[in-house]
Amino acid sequence: MSEYINNNTRRKELLKDILKSIHEGRPLDEVKQRFAELVKIADSGEIAEVEQTLIAEGLPVEEVQRLCDVHVSVVRQALDQNTPADAVPGHPVFTFRAENKAAERFLEDLGMAVEAYASHPDEKERKTVMNILEQVREFERHYLRKENLLFPLLERYGFSGPSQVMWGIHDQIRAGWKQMKSLLEKIVADSSAQAKQIKEVFEGFEMPMQEMFYKEEKILFPAAMERLKEEDWAAIRDQESELGYYFVRPGTLWKTAAQVILDEEAGFKPKKQGQTLPVEGLINLSTGQLSAEQINLLLTNLPVDVTFVDEKDEVRFFSQTKERIFDRQPAIIGRKVQFCHPPKSLDKVQRILDDFKAGNRDVAEFWIEMMGKFIHIRYYAMRDAQGNYRGTLEVSQDVSGIRALKGERRLLDD
């Protein structure tokens, strides 16, 4: 076994064989014993990389997700010896860790409240469990930042295992929260039976949450610190407040290069955190980059008709969708919008524009029935960052099908 030490590629191959053995149903004790020496020197990021390889080779994500805890248990001895990746207050990893500690406390409080309710299933104990559950469910902010900020950046470096496996576990935990809340909201005659069921549901998501704290600390965060660059962490830091935090406030000690005072006379100005560098052929937008062709395709394929009128009341654009609700021709481009409506509706159009310009309203909406369709028409005031009126956006949509929807459909219709 010693030939695998200090050989990263061969260690991964053997670790891959370990995980395959687990999935094939071989006893965990046998696997641990056979590869005891490898376990002692396994690297924290290797398990996630191997899981990602197995997924790429065709092993279903659900199967990897199902045995994720078993995978970690195989190398837990080695992971326990790893030194946590360094981070200071203000760094996203430091904030993630602080949230985990807060969540551990609330989860412990919830466990004690559930036990108290199981012993004395009265209304007071039920409400206590409900209140603490709501505090635990706020941990959704933590998961959202992982899924929408950290995972996308890791994927850019080809590290997609966490987003494929961890996201699924997040959803299992969310389902547990939702189920427990639903049970608690029901007033039942047999509160003892309800308390027992609630305890079972709690135990169903408590362990995955605890294990996720460990996986983040020992696997995800070290792997992320190793792969992501300073500008990546700066982009996360710049956006994370929009999704919110879990009972913590980020510190201020961590500084990026963009925050360091530089010599203005040198003519160098750092890129703003989260700002995207220009790419030839693409148009820089506030949340991405698209080519003119892509913008045209996007607007053409929207399930709504869009018309834009600038601050001078001149029509500047309309989307040429496949089935327009109201006819539009290129000849109206540059035309005053007042001349695009029949005289009987001109006063309504002018009132909307006047209200938008005066700041009296930001939205106006109407709905009509026409040729067997139910049409929803909305007008939006377009304002720049300083609040100045820059035009009006008209959005028209046939909502007949939407109004007829009933129940739920969660699966793709073949």
Check whether residue 13 and residue 151 sit in a common domain: no
Given a contact cutoff of 8 angstroms between Cβ atoms, the answer to whether 4 and 31 are in contact is: no
Q: What is the mean pLDDT of residues 158-176?
A: 85
Neighbour-count burial of 66, counting CB atoms closer than 10 A to its CB (0-12 exposed, 13-18 middle, 19+ buried) = middle
- The pLDDT, as a whole number, for residue 323 is 78
Is-above-0.85 flag for pTM? no
Q: What are phi and psi of 396, to 5 degrees?
A: -120, 140
- The segment with the largest mean pLDDT, out of 187-196, 234-243, 276-285, is 234-243
Nearest to 115 by CA among 187, 176, 203, 190: 203
For 369-401, the pLDDT digits (tens) are: 988 899 999 999 999 999 999 999 999 999 999
User: Which of the pair, 10 or 273, is modelled with greater confidence?
Assistant: 10
Q: What is the mean pLDDT of residues 354-367?
A: 95
Mean model confidence pLDDT for the chain: 82
Check whether residue 134 and residue 44 sit in a common domain: no
Q: What is the mean pLDDT of residues 85-94?
A: 86
Check whether residue 163 and residue 212 sit in a common domain: yes
Asked if residue 41 belongs to a domain, the reply is yes
**Is it the case that residue 258 has pLDDT exceeding 90?**
no
Rounded to whole angstroms, the Cα distance separating 190 from 70 reads 37
- The pLDDT, as a whole number, for residue 72 is 60
- The pLDDT, as a whole number, for residue 281 is 80
**Is it the case that residue 321 has pLDDT exceeding 90?**
no
- Residue that is last in its domain, among 243, 276, 295: 243
Structural domain of residue 38, as residue ranges? 2-81
User: Which of the pair, 281 or 391, is modelled with greater confidence?
Assistant: 391
Q: What is the mean pLDDT of residues 187-204?
A: 88
Check whether residue 71 and residue 107 sit in a common domain: no
Asked if residue 228 belongs to a domain, the reply is yes
Check whether residue 14 and residue 54 sit in a common domain: yes
- The pLDDT, as a whole number, for residue 274 is 46
- The pLDDT, as a whole number, for residue 43 is 54
Q: Which amino acid type is present at position 113?
A: A
Q: How confident is the model at residue 3 (pLDDT cuts 50, 70, 90)?
A: very low
Q: What is the mean pLDDT of residues 175-180?
A: 96
Check whether residue 293 and residue 352 sit in a common domain: yes
Asked if residue 413 belongs to a domain, the reply is no
Q: What is the mean pLDDT of residues 271-296?
A: 75
Check whether residue 222 and residue 342 sit in a common domain: no
Check whether residue 169 and residue 190 sit in a common domain: yes
Q: What is the mean pLDDT of residues 15-30?
A: 67
Check whether residue 163 and residue 229 sit in a common domain: yes
CATH number of the domain to which 192 belongs: 1.20.120.520
- The pLDDT, as a whole number, for residue 18 is 66
| Number of structural domains found in the chain | 3
Check whether residue 106 and residue 184 sit in a common domain: yes
**Is it the case that residue 2 has pLDDT exceeding 50?**
no
For residue 308, the SS3 value is strand
Q: How confident is the model at residue 59 (pLDDT cuts 50, 70, 90)?
A: low
- The pLDDT, as a whole number, for residue 7 is 57
- The pLDDT, as a whole number, for residue 399 is 93
**Is it the case that residue 47 has pLDDT exceeding 80?**
no
- Residue that is last in its domain, among 192, 222, 243: 243
Q: In which residue are the tokens 């459909």 written?
A: 409
Neighbour-count burial of 130, counting CB atoms closer than 10 A to its CB (0-12 exposed, 13-18 middle, 19+ buried) = middle
Strands (E), 8-108: none
Report in angstroms the alpha-carbon separations of 96 from 46, 211, 224. 22, 15, 12
- The pLDDT, as a whole number, for residue 128 is 95
User: Which of the pair, 339 or 45, is modelled with greater confidence?
Assistant: 339
Asked if residue 233 belongs to a domain, the reply is yes
Check whether residue 109 and residue 189 sit in a common domain: yes
Asked if residue 256 belongs to a domain, the reply is no
Asked if residue 267 belongs to a domain, the reply is no
Q: What is the mean pLDDT of residues 114-130?
A: 92
User: Which of the pair, 67 or 234, is modelled with greater confidence?
Assistant: 234
CATH number of the domain to which 369 belongs: 3.30.450.20
Given a contact cutoff of 8 angstroms between Cβ atoms, the answer to whether 110 and 132 are in contact is: yes
- Residue that is last in its domain, among 243, 274, 305: 243
Asked if residue 142 belongs to a domain, the reply is yes
Asked if residue 96 belongs to a domain, the reply is yes
Dihedral of CA 355/356/360/366: which sign? positive
Nearest to 241 by CA among 95, 85, 94, 89: 95
Check whether residue 138 and residue 208 sit in a common domain: yes
